[in-house]
A and B are shown apart, each in its own frame.
Chain A
Amino acid sequence: MSITDSPPRAGTRTARRRRSSDRGFNRGFRWIAVGAGVLILVVLAAVALFLLWQAWPALTAGGDELAAEVPRFPADTSFLGYVGPLVFGTLLAAVLALCLAVPVAIGIALFISHYSPRRLSQVLGYLVDLLAAIPSVVYGLWGFLVLAPVLTPFWLWLNENLSWIPLYGGQASTTGRAMATVGVVLAVMILPIITAVSREVFLQTPKLHEEAALALGATRWEVVRTAVLPFGRSGVISAAMLGLGRALGETMAVLMIISPGFSYSLDILAAGQHQTIAAYIAADFPESTGLGINTLIAAGLVLFVITLAVNMTARWIVARRKEFSGAN
């Protein structure tokens, strides 16, 4: 800003006038830019407030009132008892996806950052990013019509032979419309974000540490294990949390694949056991009115709070990391 504050040249009125109008523009432009930044904060606050406002009737209504006015609201329960299985289903789907996606994503990130030929790495990065570009409705179509039939024999085999593992128990679905299939599809969908963040962190590994390991006679994998992975650990954790956030909020793939149910069952191969908040809202919203809509928005508010917490934690870890690596 001090650049424009040069001493005014005497006597040139036009120049002075121009300068003052410049200053006006300068200030105006600055305030527009600041305004845009503030607008974003306002929007985020508005999202929270409007959801709360619309959810309030459902949050304050008694269980009996909700049961009377909202279709599919179980009798003899409160709002918490109603949203509980949905939260459970949401978390189960997201955690399942995360467990499948994280190891693969770390592998891909290492492949791009340390194993692939340098010249190819950018193109390979684009390819992985393309997975994020595919619309979720297409994932849903593909998951339901193509993937589920392919996975079903595998799920049945797991159910038959490994049913003593709690996750594989219960009556396995013969159509593949179960949580396990949803987990696989969600895992594919969150691969790109986990890969992208981990890749960035791995690329930031100080050359010094990699060379230290090499000079001790480490093989490439040992370099990765001693220098790259320990350095990138917190980055990978936050990448995983960002992926978790994505998986929690994913709607269409879940909606189109799963055969819904409202239980706390761990049987991921069984149909009609689980449902996620997002898919539940999308499924019931078109047919809801009045208090029913308020109830769905209240469920949405719960989802919003959960994802907000997960994302804020992830970003907080990233931000803390930045300071740490900057100090080094």
Chain B
Amino acid sequence: MSAATASTTTSDATERTRALLTTADSGRRRTDRAMQVLIWCAFALAMVPLVWLLWTVTTEGIGRMSIDFLTLSTRNIFGGDPGGGIYHAIMGTLIITGIAAAISVPVGILTAIYLVEYGKGWLARSVTFFVDVMTGIPSIVAGLFAFSLFALFLGPSAQMGMMGAVALSVLMIPVVVRSCEEMLKLVPNELREASYALGVPKWLTIVKVVLRTSVAGLTTGVLLSVARVIGETAPLLVTVGVTDSINFNPFDGRMMTLPVFSYRQYHQGYAPCPAGESASCVADIAFQNAWGAALVLIGIVLLLNLVGRLVNRWFSPKLR
């Protein structure tokens, strides 16, 4: 009798516990679910423009791709003439971005070295702070700065590739500093100490050990920062201007660049074509050109991003 009561109370307790442990508050669970769905949606929402944009650029731009498009300039091309190409713009972009990188990379890496290896006190703190602030300078302001700087030497209304390179450097340096700083910080202190213990002076330790260890990371940082500025339009519009001809000299006159070319073509809008005639006059040729240049530009940017990530993944030494 008493045994039976005992067993019923036990099963009672079991049932009560089971009830406690299995009845989830449905309202709370629903909120949890709903928020999960919402957060997944937020991510999906961000992917929509990315995919849509890449898709549009590819489909709209691919039709314009040809050897001629990549090797000719738009000199003497008017109206709806479907001839000409973006060779001058590609070269301009490569030259100007190359000079900007040549200015920014040494300054950026040296500043990163200063911050990581030497930086102490108020100077390091203010450099860190202002590098961060500098990443937020609007690109057009950088262009105006380069314009004002050169106006000091050459008078107003000068436009040339070098000015664009200076403007891009102002935008690029902080990005290089930031990413290289992160990479240098990843070098474990033990390596530095091991080098000091062998009697290697500090500067050689930095050059031979720290930089050597982080070279893959630095390459990534540099490539990504090049990718960041290569698509800049506004500062080049102000400092380098536009031209239809090929110009390899960054110190003499205007140059064309890919993003500015794309904007310029967009700006021209539809060409007035007489009805019926279509082979030599395409009404929306300017937009086609704009998309074509955009496709090449995005191709370069994505390539730089991809190579940058892969360099870091494949060549960085395993520190952990």
Point out the residues of chain A lying under 8 angstroms from B151, CB to CB.
54
B145 touches A51 (CB 8 A): yes
Point out the residues of chain A lying under 8 angstroms from B231, CB to CB.
133-138
CA of A315 to CA of B126 in the docked complex: distance in angstroms? 12
A303 touches B294 (CB 8 A): no
Q: Return B235 CB to nearest CB of chain A, in Å.
A: 9
Q: Return A32 CB to nearest CB of chain B, in Å.
A: 6
B201 within 8 A of A: yes
A300 touches B233 (CB 8 A): no
B39 touches A111 (CB 8 A): yes
Point out the residues of chain A lying under 8 angstroms from B115, CB to CB.
37
- The one of A23, A28, A126, A278 that contacts B234, using a Cβ cutoff of 8 Å: A278
Point out the residues of chain B lying under 8 angstroms from A140, CB to CB.
263, 266
Leading 5 A-B pairs by shortest Cβ distance: A249-B138, A135-B231, A107-B42, A36-B110, A311-B136
A221 within 8 A of B: yes
- The one of B114, B140, B263, B290 that contacts A249, using a Cβ cutoff of 8 Å: B140
Map CB proximity to A onto B102-119 as digits: 1 under 8 Å, 0 otherwise: 000011101101110111
Q: Return A149 CB to nearest CB of chain B, in Å.
A: 12
A220 within 8 A of B: yes
Which residue in chain B gives the minimum CB-CB distance to A225?
A: B35
B315 within 8 A of A: no
**In the complex with contacts A134-B53, A221-B36, A297-B144 CB distance below 8 A:** yes
Q: Return A234 CB to nearest CB of chain B, in Å.
A: 16
How many residues of B are in contact with the other chain, CB < 8 A? 97
B137 touches A304 (CB 8 A): yes
Q: Which of B1-9, B25-33, B63-71, B244-252 contacts A (4 or more CB under 8 A)?
A: B25-33
Which A43-70 residues have a C-beta within 8 angstroms of B?
Answer: 43-44, 46-47, 50-51, 53-54
**In the complex with contacts A137-B231, A142-B57, A221-B36, A50-B149 CB distance below 8 A:** yes
Task: Name B's interface SS.
Answer: helix
B156 within 8 A of A: yes
Q: Return A318 CB to nearest CB of chain B, in Å.
A: 8
Q: Which of A81-89, A157-165, A207-215, A281-289 contacts B (4 or more CB under 8 A)?
A: A281-289
Q: List 28 A-B contacts (CB under 8 A).
A: A4-B201, A33-B111, A35-B110, A36-B111, A40-B173, A40-B174, A47-B141, A50-B149, A50-B152, A111-B43, A116-B43, A130-B50, A133-B231, A135-B231, A135-B233, A136-B259, A138-B298, A139-B53, A191-B46, A221-B31, A242-B136, A245-B136, A251-B140, A255-B234, A256-B266, A285-B238, A307-B136, A308-B136
How many residues of A are in contact with the other chain, CB < 8 A? 100
Which A213-252 residues have a C-beta within 8 angstroms of B?
Answer: 219-222, 224, 242, 245-246, 248-252
- The one of B38, B202, B259 that contacts A4, using a Cβ cutoff of 8 Å: B202
B78 within 8 A of A: no
Map CB proximity to A onto B45-88 as digits: 1 under 8 Å, 0 otherwise: 11101101100110000000000000000000000000000000
A1 within 8 A of B: yes
A282 touches B141 (CB 8 A): no
Which B215-244 residues have a C-beta within 8 angstroms of A?
Answer: 227-228, 230-234, 237-238, 241-242
CA of A146 to CA of B127 in the docked complex: distance in angstroms? 42
**In the complex with contacts A251-B139, A303-B138, A124-B133 CB distance below 8 A:** no
Beyond A44-B130, A135-B230, A252-B233, list 11 extra A-B contacts (CB 8 Å).
Answer: A26-B202, A28-B203, A29-B203, A40-B134, A133-B231, A133-B305, A141-B57, A220-B36, A251-B233, A300-B144, A304-B141
Which A265-314 residues have a C-beta within 8 angstroms of B?
Answer: 278, 281-282, 285-286, 289-290, 293, 296-297, 300, 303-304, 307-308, 310-312, 314
CA of A303 to CA of B259 in the docked complex: distance in angstroms? 23
B110 touches A145 (CB 8 A): no
Which B240-274 residues have a C-beta within 8 angstroms of A?
Answer: 241-242, 259-260, 262-263, 266
Q: Return B224 CB to nearest CB of chain A, in Å.
A: 8
Residues of A within 8 A of B (CB): 1, 3-4, 6, 22-23, 25-26, 28-30, 32-41, 43-44, 46-47, 50-51, 53-54, 103-108, 110-112, 115-116, 124, 126-128, 130-142, 144-146, 188, 191, 195, 219-222, 224, 242, 245-246, 248-252, 255-256, 278, 281-282, 285-286, 289-290, 293, 296-297, 300, 303-304, 307-308, 310-312, 314-315, 318-319
A33 touches B202 (CB 8 A): no
Q: Return B190 CB to nearest CB of chain A, in Å.
A: 15
B298 touches A29 (CB 8 A): no
**In the complex with contacts A37-B115, A300-B144, A281-B233 CB distance below 8 A:** no
CA of A188 to CA of B45 in the docked complex: distance in angstroms? 10
Q: Return A300 CB to nearest CB of chain B, in Å.
A: 4
Point out the residues of chain A lying under 8 angstroms from B124, CB to CB.
37
CA of A151 to CA of B208 in the docked complex: distance in angstroms? 56
User: Which of B39, B196, B291 counts the most A-chain CB atoms under 10 A from its CB?
Assistant: B39
Which residue in chain B gives the minimum CB-CB distance to A109?
A: B42
Q: Return B297 CB to nearest CB of chain A, in Å.
A: 6
Q: Return A49 CB to nearest CB of chain B, in Å.
A: 9
